Amino acid sequence: MTYSAEKSRLSKEPFVIVEEDLDECANEYGVSPCTAGIQSTGTAQAGASTTITLASGDSATDDIYNTMTVRITSGTGSGQERKITDYVGSTKVATVSVAWDTNPDNTSVYAVIDRPNACYKQYGNCQDRTNYVKTTKTFKFCTKSANAPLDQGFIPCITQHPTTTPSKIIPGKSLGTRTVVDIRMQDFPHHDRGFDPYFEDRTWYPNADQRGTFFGKFHARNKYYQSRDCRVKFGFISPDGFSEDDFVTHYYVIEEMNGPDANDMVTHRFNDVLKKTNYDRAQCPMASQGKLSADILAAAGSLTLTPAGIGNSEYPASGYVSVDSETMAFTRVADVLTLTRAQYGTTAADHTAGATVQLGYAPVAKNVIDVVYEILVDYAGIDSALIPYADWIQEKTDYLSIYNLTTIVHEPTGVSTLLNELVVECGLLIAWDEQNQEIMLKAVRSGTTASVINDGKIIKGSFSVKDKPNERLSQIWYHYDWKTPFDRSELQDFNSTNIYADAESESANKYGETRQEKIYSRWVTATGIVAEVASRRLKRYKDNPKYIETQIDIKDAVKIGDYIGIESDRNQDESGDAGLEGYQVISVKNIDKYSKQHLELMFQPFNRYGLIGPDSLPDYTSATQVQKDTYAWICDTSTLLMSNGDDPYVIQ
């Protein structure tokens, strides 16, 4: 079966799996290249089935190596390890717990390793950090359920369904809020088998379950967990048997590990990947370390960076830099920058030695999707594999082809600040798609309705409608094409200001008041972009935005960003009928042990755009949805509808 099939069963058993990818050293304690814990090395004098005679110069102290491990590192029997149960200092004879497979002899080179005091293979407890080699170990936790599969390596300690603060998109206004997931798990005594790589060597073996608890030890060992990858898999235990195909995976990064608390509970908190844009280190451009090695005058055609070597390590072959309030273009050889002064409306000036030479981020006629891509990948450290670039290209082709940006970000600025600006100034929706593990980027526009939710699917008692008059807009003042990159806070800092107003909504017959929004753009210089963004923005917000909250069964699940139709007796038209309206899903939360989704929806009040199409276009009913969204057809003159009953194209 598949996840889609399992969630449609009439009776189903929800199940949650959490996977955390944490660090682990690839080396073995005391085995080359790891040098930790080695008490003694040498060439054996002799060996027998359960003994090895160490080198004549080895310790003369009886029992000094008891409980430690002797490993044959080369020669006869190489690769074997045994625990020492007895050592006689005078004869150098070490007795081992289990007979050798191949008896050592006087060619066997050995090392005695203090395994009882070995590390736990994490960097925090590593005893030879020079040779630490980071790999990943995945820990798996699951719901405490009678039917939890036993042969998948799960630890059944999740006591309640994950608590999710879902992400919320605010199309065209901001990045919205990030998803936060809290996983609550029960702590318990644990024998450490499978978790302490040297559990059989510890002096307290086999009583590790009397020393601390699983999560007490887990948190102490795994100190460096922040930003490590994790996954929450939601699905169902099928009567046909357990299968990973019955689960949908949501991808996150680890933010916090807390507990155990007074009730022996721990909480692991995860964030969506876009949380990385909020980190203090996510700056664009990065702070430059290079400075002027000497004074330069306003007419100087070059400068030299200090400290020596900084040019090659931090500055590209060409680009833009800012010193004080002047921006300059440059080409570079080693630490010497050849300059074209006074760029981007700034004025050439004298600059003193020691002034910071700050590299700028300066896209030139670059499409907005590529600007967002660069900021996420190069400055926020987002893995490019999380960006469905082909989908972004299609969005550019369909809706963002004219959005080519030329600007400079002259000083380190938070990535989340820049992305929020782009969302507003270019009318974008940027969100993390948990299920497909990708970053969604769309223009604020109409979309194809994915499904219709009616009273046959809406969970009883869950539907509510709300107007938000405070979000309505009637005018947009768009200030663009700034004069210099250093000032963008007032009208006089810009070369152009366009005002777009919906006079009808300001009239006495409608709202009778002005609601104004001002945009001071860093990114936009072209009037075409301004007109389109303002037009789309007014269309969405010129009437009081309407929001719906409702719940649906998990079998009808939708995802954030989807366009859906709502038809309910609780959302009536003027005649009292359950009118069909279009909405966009702005938030999704799985609740009640993943048996339901709680949705927040925003009304999508778009008329359709219509271009004049080529002769080769099919009839309306045979056209694809992309064609219908792009071109216009003539409606029936008597019904004023399309031949299949769809709304007509309206010329405004």
Partner 1 sequence: MSIISTGGSPNKTTPPAVAYSNIFESGTVTASSEATGYFKENAYDWRGDDILLFDSGTTHTLTVDYGSAVSVDVFCLAYHNLGTLGATVTIRYSTDNFAADDNVLVTLSPSDDRVIFKPMTSTLKRYWRIQIALGAAGQPYIGQALLGEMLELSHGPVDGDESVYDSHMDEIINNTAQNGNFLGRSVIYQGVEGAIPFRFMQSTYLRGDYRAFITHARNKPFFYSWRPTLYDEEAVICWTKGRVPTPKATNTLYYETVIPIEGRKS
Q: In the complex, which residues of this chain contact partner 1 (CB under 8 A)?
A: 8-14, 143, 145-147, 150-151, 153-157, 191, 193-194, 206, 241, 455-461, 463, 553-555, 568-570, 592-596
Please say which residue, 53 or 143, places its beta carbon nearer to partner 1: 143
Q: Please, which residue, 195 or 477, has the CB nearer to partner 1? A: 195
User: What does 68-89 look like in DSSP terms, one character per residue?
Assistant: -EEEEEESTTTT-EEEEEEEET
Beta carbon of residue 584, minimum distance to partner 1 (angstroms, whole number): 22
Four-residue CA torsion sign, 120, 126, 131, 137: positive
Nearest to 170 by CA among 551, 517, 585: 585
Spatial CB neighbours of 125, under 8 Å, sequence gap ≥ 6: 119, 221
Q: Give whichever of 70 and 248 is closer to partner 1, judged by the CB atom.
A: 248
Distance CA 421, CA 175 (A): 9
Distance CA 321, CA 330 (A): 7
| Nearest residue (CB) to partner 1, 409 versus 554 | 554
Q: In terms of CB distance, is 48 or 591 closer to partner 1?
A: 591
Question: In whole angstroms, how close is the CB of 38 to partner 1 at the nearest point?
Answer: 26
Q: CB of 238: closest distance to partner 1 in angstroms?
A: 13
Shortest CB 233 distance to partner 1, Å: 16
**C-alpha dihedral (8, 14, 20, 26), degrees to nearest 10:** -90
Residue whose C-alpha is closest to residue 181's, from 162, 195, 199, 204: 162
Q: How far is the CB of 548 from partner 1 (least distance, A)?
A: 13
At position 216, the amino acid (one-letter code) is G
Q: What is the DSSP letter of 413?
A: E
Q: How far is the CB of 211 from partner 1 (least distance, A)?
A: 15
| Minimum distance, C-beta of residue 9 to partner 1, in the bound complex (Å) | 7
User: If you ran DSSP here, which 8-state letter would residue 399 be given?
Assistant: I
Whose CA is closest to 647, among 580, 562, 591, 584? 580
Residue whose CB is less far from partner 1, 424 or 599: 599
Three-class secondary structure assignment of 301-316: CEEEEECCCHHHHHCC
Residue placing its CB nearer to partner 1 in the complex, 10 or 317: 10
Residue number, 12 or 71, with CB nearest to partner 1: 12
CB of 18 to partner 1, least distance (A): 14
Query: Smallest distance from the beta carbon of 194 to partner 1, in angstroms?
Result: 5
If the CB atoms of residues 461 and 645 are measured against partner 1, the closer one turns out to be 461
Other Cβ atoms closer than 10 A to 573: 10
Please state, in angstroms and as integers, the Cα–Cα distance from residue 330 to each residue in 28, 371, 411, 503, 591, following that order. 51, 21, 16, 48, 56
- Interatomic CA distance for residues 433 and 439, integer angstroms: 6
